[in-house]
Structure 1
Amino acid sequence: MTDNRRLEPRTNAFLFGSILLDDLSSQRDCLVWDESQIGAMIEVAGSEEIPDRFSLAIGPHRRARPCAVVRRDGRRLGVVFEDGISPTPA
């Protein structure tokens, strides 16, 4: 049995995303495995170089949302969105 501590169920996303670093002038590509209104599971090469806080844009037409890393597992990062806004449809 897996230990699922999520506060809200996530849906499979399997979308490309962008991690916006620093002052939004630098970005890294990532894969978004799943997402909910309050967080997401992403995968990124060199995850140890990703700071604890950054902005994440999921899909081609979604605005970047501020988020914080709450879990690190190799290349995968669990993040929680910090803006409290529900995502717009893709």
Structure 2
Amino acid sequence: MFVDRREPSTRIVFGLGTVAFEGRPDDIDCIVWGTSETGATIEVEPEVSLPYTVRLRVAGYGFDRLCVVVWRQGRKLGLDYAC
């Protein structure tokens, strides 16, 4: 019998979060526009340059995922969850 052991997904429609990555001592604030089963859309300040791999956290939801940046359009970025 198949047992689904995946954690239930948390859908965030709009919230405040932070982005962290190696080589930066403090987190960067971001707006989380939405999440799905496979990724998220966030917005950061225009001068922020992110590497390919980042950690997205939304404290109010207990959300903490390793992500890869897959697209950027202005201040908005598309993230896919890293496996």
Q: How would you bin the TM-score normalised by the shorter chain?
A: 0.7 to 0.9
- Residue identity in the other structure for 1:45: E
How many corresponding residue pairs? 73
Residue 52 of structure 2 is aligned to residue 52 of structure 1: yes
Deviation >3 Å, runs of 4+: none
> What's the counterpart of residue 62 of structure 1?
62
- Residue identity in the other structure for 1:30: C
Q: TM-score, normalised by structure 2?
A: 0.74
The 3 A distance-change label for structure 1 pair 58 and 47 is farther
The 3 A distance-change label for structure 1 pair 12 and 47 is farther
CA RMSD of aligned residues (A): 2.1
- Residue identity in the other structure for 1:46: P
Could you tell me how far 1:50 is from its partner in structure 2?
1.2
Tell me the percent identity: 32
> What's the counterpart of residue 17 of structure 2?
17
The 3 A distance-change label for structure 1 pair 12 and 19 is closer
Unaligned runs of 5+ in 1: 1-10, 84-90
Provide the rounded CA distance (Å) in 2 between the counterparts of 1:12 and 1:25: 26
